[in-house]
Each structure stands twice: as structure tokens, then as C-alpha cells.
Amino acid sequence: AQSVAQPEDQVNVAEGNPLTVKCTYSVSGNPYLFWYVQYPNRGLQFLLKYITGDNLVKGSYGFEAEFNKSQTSFHLKKPSALVSDSALYFCAVRDGGAGKSTFGDGTTLTVKP
Amino acid sequence: ETGVTQSPTHLIKTRGQQVTLRCSSQSGHNTVSWYQQALGQGPQFIFQYYREEENGRGNFPPRFSGLQFPNYSSELNVNALELDDSALYLCASSLVQQGATSPLHFGNGTRLTVT
């Protein structure tokens, strides 16, 4: 069975500071990893994915994520946070290229001016 | 391109009733999946449809059923509603093809309240 853990319910950072949202995963085969963002009363929006290749993946809105196979982690990062980045962030792992996605319980990111 | 649309946006039902939620996939996508998101939790996989057939199911009872139509639109049906069925129901479409891994494209969801 596959699973995702987001150990922090809440992350608070000041605007302009770097941010990290943590994610660890468990999957039997090769991991297909994703980050999504959710704004209030909206569906999830895709940010970035890791399938294979370079361990540092770049995505939308200046976000990036680092895949670490030995630590089974896929942390979301951004060098300089914006107030508009405040939202709920979900990490997900997929069972193969076409299988179901399993999501973490989400991390609320708050960026203060 | 047209995104994923869901209807209705909000719905209130009574315990024991039946409900149908609808989803129109993003154009060009051939796979649709449904998720249940309870308050404060991540989306939970209900099932997935590919070429009008269910090809994956999560830990949900048979009273949760679905359909995918030739135009890739989809329905989620829930019978004998229970209070715990109150949640945001998300539809997501994606393109499944050889050698490619498409992310999920979500609609804004249907907020179901069971009283």
C-alpha cells in the first residue's frame, strides 16, 4: 500500500524568507510524486511532479521540490515566499503512471507581511 | 482549453436519500477519478474510470457508484446517504497514454451536506 505523510499541519514564514513544506512517502515501486495547492472553496491545482530524472524539480509560481530517494522525501521549497502563497498544500503519490493518487492531509502555509 | 467543471456546487440532502453529482472533464482527457475530501483532511480516492470502465477503487462501499460517458463526462452516485458522507466531492481528469504521466486536473468540487 502507498502512503504520504505531511508532518506539519501548519507552516508560518515571513514574506521574503525561504519556505519548506515537508512530505515523506511510502510506495512499493517507483514513486510518481506530485504537489498540489488548494485555495478556499476551490479544487486542487497542480504545482509540480517528479517522475524520473533530476532530483530537483521546478514548477509553477517559483516553487520547486527536491526528491530524496534514501530519505523517501519530496519537500516543497521556494526561495522567497509571497503573501499570495498562503494556501493549503498537498503532497501526493501515484501508484504507477495511471493509478490512483494518495494524498497527505495537507499543510497550511501562512506567509505574513 | 476548457477545465473540469462540476455541478452542483452545493447540495443538501437528508439521510437515506440518493444523490448524483456530475462532472465534465477537461477537453482531451480520457480518465476521470473521484475523491472525497472531509473537512481538515486530504482527498480520499473513491474510484477511477477509463474508457467508460471502472479501473480502480478505494475503500468505499458499493453504495458509491459511478459512470463515465463517451464524451468523458462522469457521474458519482451515492445511495442511502449517511451523515458521514458530508464532504467536498472532487472530480479530477487526466490524460493516460503510453509513456506519459499527466497530473490530475481538479474541478472546484461539490459540497454535500447530509442532515
Interchain contact, B101 vs A99, CB within 8 Å? no
Cβ atoms of B79 and B59 within 8 Å: the answer is no
Q: What is the mean pLDDT of chain B?
A: 93
Alpha-carbon distance B82 to B80, whole Å?
6
Top pLDDT among A5 and A1 is at A5
Q: Give the best residue of A42, A44, A49 to mutate against chain B (max B CB count within 10 A).
A: A44
pLDDT tens, residue by residue, A99-113? 789 999 999 999 999
- The sign one gets for the Cα dihedral B37, B41, B46, B52 is positive
For chains A and B, CB pairs below 8 A equal 60
In chain B, which residues have their Cβ closer than 8 Å to the Cβ of A106?
41-42
Q: Is the model's pLDDT at B23 over the cut of 60? A: yes
Q: In Å, what is the CA distance from B95 to each residue of A5, A8, B30, B50, B53? A: 26, 32, 5, 10, 15
Q: How many angstroms from the chain centroid is the CA of residue A24?
A: 10
Interchain contact, B41 vs A98, CB within 8 Å? no
pLDDT tens, residue by residue, A45-88? 999 999 888 899 999 999 999 999 999 999 999 999 999 999 99
pLDDT of B114 reads 98
pLDDT of B99 reads 66
Q: Is A105 on the interface with B (CB under 8 A)?
A: yes
Q: Which residues contact B98 (CB under 8 A, 6 or more apart)?
A: none
Comparing alpha-carbon positions, the chain B residue that sits nearest to A34 is: B103
A80–chain B nearest CA distance, Å: 25
pLDDT of A14 reads 98
pLDDT tens, residue by residue, A13-35? 999 999 999 999 998 888 899 99
A51–chain B nearest CA distance, Å: 8
pLDDT of B27 reads 86
Q: Is the model's pLDDT at A98 over the cut of 70? A: no
Over residues B6-26, the mean pLDDT reads: 97
Question: Nearest to residue B58, comparing CAs of B36, B85, B88?
Answer: B36
Per-residue pLDDT band for A40 (boundaries 50, 70, 90) equals confident
Give the 3-state secondary structure of residue B69: coil
Q: Is the model's pLDDT at B1 over the cut of 60? A: no
Per-residue pLDDT band for B84 (boundaries 50, 70, 90) equals very high
Interchain contact, B31 vs A101, CB within 8 Å? no
Q: Is the model's pLDDT at A38 over the cut of 70? A: yes
Residue reference for cell 498540489: A36
pLDDT tens, residue by residue, B96-108? 877 677 899 999 9
Q: Identity (one letter) of the amino acid at B87?
A: A
Phi first, then psi: what are they for B84, rounded to 5°? Answer: -70, -5
Q: Is A35 on the interface with B (CB under 8 A)?
A: no
Q: Give the best residue of A103, A105, A107, A108 to mutate against chain B (max B CB count within 10 A).
A: A103
